[in-house]
Amino acid sequence: MSRESRIPTLVLGGTGYVAGELLRLIAAHPRLELAAAVSDSKPGERLAGAFPHLAPLYPETTFVAADEAERLIASQPVSAVLAAAPHGVSAALIDRLLAAAAAAGTRPRVVDISADYRYPDPDAYAAVYGQPHGAPARLRDFSCALPEHLATLATPHVAHPGCFATAMLLAIVPLLKLGLVEPAFYVSAVTGSTGSGRAPVDGTHHPRRHSDLYAYGALGHRHAPEVISITRGLTGRSAELNFVPHSGPFARGIHATTQARLVQPMSSGELRAALAAFYTGQPFVRVLADPPRLKDVVASNYAHLSATSNGSTVAVMSVIDNLTKGAAGGAVQWLNRMFGWEVSTGLTAPAPGWT
């Protein structure tokens, strides 16, 4: 395919882990081409300096400032924007770029991976993040869901759910939509250290995290109200979510166990069959007979689920890669849908396995 037929793509928040994963995926995508990686902290510096593993893909490419991104988006008739800027920064930056595009008559499509456009109500956002929304008038232009859960996109732009939220929604949405369970969920999930971002903090410091496992934010994590909000929008039902996240001694991946009370008795096989039928035609979600393992999905866009029942309670185990399916890969999957391409384009590489 010629370079002229590719969609110029901007990556915002260009030095974080998710941005690095976006850059890796864009390089392998047959319909996308990097137009700019935006970083106000490192303009003019080489991408390879921030991401040495990407040096073969971007040996001389440098980061640009937001002003250059504004010029680029106004100069391209059609473009894609993948926003991995920090929460609280992304909203205003996207608003600025969309205003420049509107003034120039160009048509970008945006997928925001921060939390800034996940809530339809600015007050709900402020209640969770403790600050006003940066561009409340833009919220009506964004939908928030996993690509597997929203058959028709009614807005020009998308907000991708968070990584923990992705792992939970994969289990909760079908259970509620199919009417299999009471609307009260109990989730225990373990995430790798990359989920905390690139800036070193005490909780992700290797000597502390290595060979250890501990809970944090128990029953008060910010992804819980996000999952409730998204679930309500998709199913029309309010649900209770009791979520306990854990820090795991590994870099990538999330393992989540979601439990709920069944409305009527079902066997483990019946539950797995119901989940498999729900995800029919969705190439990245696989329902297994055996409990899923992180190594089978890490560094890929695949999600593996399994379920078991004792007759009255269901436990759904889900595993994803937090940087790929839970962020960058899910965002590229949305772009594939938004531009009318096969949903799996550029995303079919399997997990490497023995990571």
Q: Is residue 207 part of a domain?
A: yes
**pLDDT at residue 201, rounded to an integer:** 72
Six-digit token string for 259: 């439990």
Taking the C-alpha atoms of residue 229 and residue 122, their distance in angstroms, rounded to an integer, is 13
Residues 131 and 197 in one domain: no
Residues 194 and 234 in one domain: yes
Q: Are strands 184-191 and 214-215 parallel, antiparallel or unpaired?
A: unpaired
Q: Is 144 a catalytic residue?
A: no
In this structure, the number of other CB atoms found within 10 A of the CB of residue 69 comes to: 24
Q: Is residue 155 part of a domain?
A: no
Q: Is residue 156 part of a domain?
A: no
Residues 286 and 224 in one domain: yes
Range of the domain at 90: 3-144
> Which residues contact residue 98 at a Cβ distance below 8 angstroms, ignoring those fewer than 6 apart?
108, 110, 138, 141
**pLDDT at residue 203, rounded to an integer:** 67
CATH number of the domain residue 117 falls in = 3.40.50.720
Six-digit token string for 177: 């939509």
Average pLDDT over residues 234-246: 96
Residues 107 and 252 in one domain: no
Q: Is residue 150 part of a domain?
A: no
Give me the sign of the Cα torsion angle 152, 155, 156, 162: negative
Task: Classify 97 as helix, strand or coil.
Answer: helix
Active-site residue identified among 64, 163, 189, 260? 163
Q: Is residue 307 part of a domain?
A: yes
Residues 18 and 127 in one domain: yes
CATH number of the domain residue 306 falls in = 3.30.360.10
Q: Is residue 153 part of a domain?
A: no
325: left (phi over 0), alpha (psi -120 to 50) or beta: alpha
Percentage of residues in the chain having pLDDT higher than 90: 91
The angle subtended at Cα 337 by Cα 333 and Cα 338, nearest 5°, is 115
Predicted TM-score (pTM) of the model is 0.96
The whole-chain average pLDDT of the chain stands at 95
φ, ψ (nearest 5 deg) of residue 27: -60, -30
Q: Is residue 201 part of a domain?
A: yes
Domain count, the chain: 2
- Residue 1 binned pLDDT confidence (cut-offs 50, 70, 90): very low
Average pLDDT over residues 92-116: 97
Taking the C-alpha atoms of residue 338 and residue 5, their distance in angstroms, rounded to an integer, is 16
